[in-house]
Amino acid sequence: MSIKQAASLALKSIMGNKLRSFLTMLGIIIGVASVIILVSIVNGLTSNVVSIFDELGTNLITVNVGGRGSNRSVDPADMQKIVEENSDCLMYVSPSVAFMGTVKSDSDSLDNKTVTGVSEDFEKIRVLKIENGRFFTYMDVTNKNRVCVIGTYLQKELFDGQSAVGESIKINGKKFEVIGVLEEKASSESGSADDVIYLPYTIAQKMSWNGRVSMYYFSATDTDHSEQAVSKIKTELYKVFQNENAYTVMAMSEMIDQINEITGMMSTALAGIAGISLLVGGIGIMNIMLVSVTERTREIGIRKSLGATPWDIMSQFVVEAITTGALGGVLGIVLGVAASFAVTLFGVASKISFTAIAISFSFSVLIGIIFGYFPAKKAARLNPIEALRYD
Amino acid sequence: MTALVNLRNIYKIYGEGESEIHALDGMSLEVHEHEFVAIVGASGSGKSTCMNIIGCLDTPTSGEYFLNGTDVSTMNEKELAHIRNREIGFIFQQYNLIPKLTVLENVELPLIYRGISASERKKKAREALKRVGLSNRENKFPNQLSGGQQQRVSIARALAGNPPVILADEPTGALDSKTGKEVLEFLKELNRDGTTIILITHDNSIAEQTKRIVRISDGKIISDEVKEAQA
Ligand SMILES: Nc1ncnc2c1ncn2[C@@H]1O[C@H](COP(=O)(O)OP(=O)(O)O)[C@@H](O)[C@H]1O
Ligand SMILES: [Mg+2]
């Protein structure tokens, strides 16, 4: 008997009892579908997070100087020197001084806004695009000019979307001139990349509670030089602090790698858990196949009396189990892909993984083979005389 | 001329020691081409055991069995399956049709295991159904047919592969006397056309209609009478 005949026989037997076949496949369907859904969601999450970090620039390096365990300190000029002495791998540095504040225009007021003081180089480090006006300059920073650059969210809220350039706002009661508005990045929503206010850090230092700069943004010449740049910065900082706990240096590229690693592990773990339900599905197939062999004892006897070899009987049942597994796999894929699309309608990011589809399908076929083998072997071994007598 | 079926001193022994049962106790039998033999005996005399061995469903404990000149007593399961497939056509008391398959598909079964192509298979199966007069029933399922019709389907199935020997174990046992008679007439007709038939029965009136009656008791042949008049 050919594989083709065995397959058509198997399909017939599966179609002959649709409800039972469906219940048999249910474990596989759920297993495959959940592998696909979970991997899709983790994938979607990963690419979302990665794109956020990508946005910040993969050559970005953040440095925190807490000064823990050391009584020394660095100032923005020291940091600038590090950049100048390592121009092969470093391009710019900007201090970052953030504080919370109330921001007011003549007509509106916003509470609890993060206000960030940076240097003129921040514009290049973060590749900011100015829609209107300009970013502040070296002179603005050294002269401690009361100027600021705002995101489109603030323009929308404080100036009803009218151009804010040249207008003035009050930050914690102090008057600032808006000299630039950034290009819209995230539909001007609250808390997004459009909800920002930048001042010269020299002024921000005066307005924050201790005036200390504890955070710096560096940019490496390019992503490939990030690692080298990180180690240069670390070396220089160690010279000052003599203590590794006093600072942390983190490259964005490294962070993205870490995120990818973590979510990769997550998705493997989740797929593994979902894989267990595939295994349970396999046991389901085996159960039903064993019942089916018993029910069909007489049929097996008849087939044997007509010349079916043990191999013929064996392949009939194995092919049936494989077909059940494969059919369950296909239904699971359909369900999984549909559900992965459906969750996006509820705002959950998902990205379908073809590897997950391929692996879970192969796995369900494999399960058909493994768990179909034992019942098939049992069927093939039946004694034809006893099988014919069975009722 | 070599015999088609040649059993030589066949023993089939079940159990061991005290409880040993000799289902066949040194049986020797030759059946030639074109014969129509009835094997008759009381219940438990060893008829079915004999038929299982002739039909290669079972192997003897000892003794030799040549089928069409080939020694089959030492064959393995796979080889026996091939012999059953090509050399034997079975007709059972309970018809033994597969209920999920149509009449045509049932008749095709032995041809499937012979590896014959689908179109060739269908052609042969239809020819066999035509011979038993059920051409118009090929797409029916067994339970849609009467007992007599089902037995004719099983005869068609036995004929489809054109085996040299047809073994019938109580083929009329499950039928009323009128349909039983029809089936028997059909077997006679087959035999007239040249098919060798070995029929097993406990019913003398049926045995009387064959050309040769072999009586067995306790696994031994007690008489073997050829009725030339019937030929
Ligand atoms: N599988 C078996 N195990 C033990 N004894 C058996 C088995 N098959 C048949 N027998 C015994 O062999 C003898 C012949 O049985 P069988 O060939 O079925 O007789 P018949 O068909 O003439 O009624 C009986 O005594 C029966 O009990
Ligand atoms: Mg019997």
Share of chain A above pLDDT 70, in %: 99
Digit-coded pLDDT (tens) for A260-314: 888 888 888 888 888 888 888 888 888 888 898 999 999 999 999 999 999 999 9
Look at residue A18 and tell me whether its pLDDT is greater than 90.
no
Q: Is the pLDDT of residue A59 over 90?
A: no
What pLDDT is recorded for position B229?
53
Q: B14 CB under 6 A from ligand 1?
A: yes
CB pair distance less than 8 Å for B84 and A305 = yes
Residues of chain B with Cβ-Cβ distance to A304 below 8 Å are: 57, 81, 84
Say if CB A140 and CB A120 are below 8 A apart.
yes
Compute the average pLDDT of residues A84-106: 91
Return the pLDDT at B179.
85
How far is residue A350's CA from residue A43's CA, in Å, rounded to a whole number? 6
> Helices in A296-309 by DSSP H: which ranges?
297-305
Q: What is the pLDDT of residue B123?
A: 95
Residue among A300, A224, A259 at smallest CA distance from A58 = A224
* Arithmetic mean of pLDDT, A70-81: 85
Q: Is the pLDDT of residue A388 over 50?
A: yes
Asked if pLDDT for residue A69 goes beyond 80, the answer is: no
* % chain B with pLDDT above 70: 98
pLDDT, tens digit, for every residue of B183-211? Answer: 888 899 889 988 999 999 988 888 998 99
Higher pLDDT, residue B177 or B26: B26
For position A1, what pLDDT does the model report? 62
- Residues A122 and A201: beta-carbon distance below 8 Å: no
* Ligand nearest to the CA of residue B169, numbered in listed order: 2
| B6–A contact, CB cutoff 8 A | no
Candidate from A1, A305, A388 with C-beta closest to B112 = A1
Average confidence (pLDDT) over A75-93: 90
Q: Please check the confidence at residue B77 and state whether its pLDDT lies above 60.
A: yes
Nearest to B85 among A306, A311, A384 (CB): A306
Would the CB of B201 count as within 6 Å of ligand 1?
no
Please give the mean pLDDT across all residues of chain B.
91
Q: In this complex, which of B77, B96, B157 lies closest to A310 when CB atoms are compared?
A: B77
Of all ligands present, the nearest one to the C-alpha of B23 is 1
Mean pLDDT score, A132-152: 93
Of B172, B164, B161, B166, nearest to B203 (Cα)?
Answer: B172
Shortest CA gap B178–chain A (Å): 26
| C-alpha torsion A274→A277→A278→A284, nearest 10 | -170
Task: Supply the pLDDT for residue B231.
Answer: 44
Is residue A94 a contact partner of residue A83, using CB atoms and an 8 Å limit? no
Helix (H, G, I), strand (E, B) or coil at A117: strand
- Window from A67-71, A344-348, B12-16, B83-87 with minimum mean pLDDT: A67-71
* pLDDT at residue number A161: 84
Is the Cβ pair B113, A16 closer than 8 Å?
no
Chain B residues with CB inside 8 Å of A302's CB? 96-98, 109
User: Is A2 a residue whose pLDDT tops 50?
Assistant: yes
More confident residue, A269 or A187: A269
List of E strands, chain A: 60-65, 90-104, 109-118, 130-133, 147-150, 168-171, 174-182, 197-200, 215-220, 247-251
CA–CA gap between residue B58 and residue A374 (Å, rounded): 24
Please report the atom of ligand 1 found closest to the CA of residue B12.
12
Q: Using a CB-CB distance cutoff of 8 angstroms, which residues of chain A are in contact with residue B96?
A: 298, 301-302, 305, 388
**Length of chain B, please?**
231
Site to probe by mutation for ligand 1, drawn from B11, B24, B49 as the one with most ligand atoms within 8 Å of Cβ, is B49
CB A307 within 8 A of CB B113: yes
Residue of chain B whose Cα is closest to the Cα of A310: B78
DSSP output for B83-127: HHHHHEEEE-TT----TTS-HHHHHHHHHHHTT--HHHHHHHHHH
pLDDT at A199: 94
The answer to whether the Cβ–Cβ distance between B84 and A309 falls below 8 Å is: no
Touching A: B residues 154-183, CB under 8 Å: 157, 161
Rg (CA), chain A: 33
Q: How large a percentage of chain B has pLDDT more than 90?
A: 71
Locate A14 and state its tokens: 């599966």
Give the whole-angstrom CA distance, residue A103 versus residue A123.
22
The pLDDT tens digits of the residues spanning B20-68 come to: 999 999 999 999 999 999 999 999 999 999 999 999 998 899 999 999 8
Q: How far is A381 from A365, CA to CA, in rounded Å?
A: 24
Going by CA atoms, what residue is nearest to atom 6 of ligand 1? Answer: B14
Domains (ranges, CATH) in chain B? 35-59+80-226 (3.40.50.300)
**What is the number of the ligand 1 atom nearest to the C-alpha of B51?**
17
Please, which pLDDT band fits residue A17 given cuts at 50, 70 and 90? Answer: confident
User: Is residue B23 lining ligand 1, measured as CB closer than 6 Å?
Assistant: yes
Instruction: Look at residue B102 in the predicted model and tell me its pLDDT.
Output: 93
The verdict on B226 touching A (C-beta cutoff 8 Å) is no
How far apart, in whole angstroms, are the C-alpha atoms of residue A257 and residue A251?
Answer: 10
Q: Which residues of B touch A384 (CB under 8 A)?
A: 57
Q: Which residues of A touch B (CB under 8 A)?
A: 1-2, 5, 12-13, 16, 298-299, 301-312, 384-385, 388
CB < 8 Å to A379, chain B: none
Contact list in A for residue B78 (CB cut-off 8 A) is 309-311
How far apart CA B217 and CA B44 sit, in angstroms, is 8
Q: What is the pLDDT of residue B14?
A: 93
The pLDDT of residue B88 is above 90: yes
Are residues B78 and A310, on separate chains, in Cβ contact within 8 Å? yes
Confidence at residue A226, expressed as pLDDT on a 0 to 100 scale: 85
The rounded distance, in Å, linking the Cα atoms of B125 and B104 is 6
Q: What is the DSSP string of chain B?
A: ---SEEEEEEEEEES-GGG-EEEEEEEEEEE-TT-EEEEE--TTSSHHHHHHHHTTSS--SEEEEEETTEE-TT--HHHHHHHHHHHEEEE-TT----TTS-HHHHHHHHHHHTT--HHHHHHHHHHHHHHTT-GGGTTS-GGGS-HHHHHHHHHHHHHHT--SEEEEESTTTTS-HHHHHHHHHHHHHHHHTT-EEEEEES-HHHHTTSSEEEEEETTEEEEEEE-GGG-
Q: Which residue's CA is minimally distant from atom 3 of ligand 1?
A: B14
Inter-chain CB proximity A388 and B114 less than 8 Å:
no
Q: Which position has the higher pLDDT, A122 or A252?
A: A122
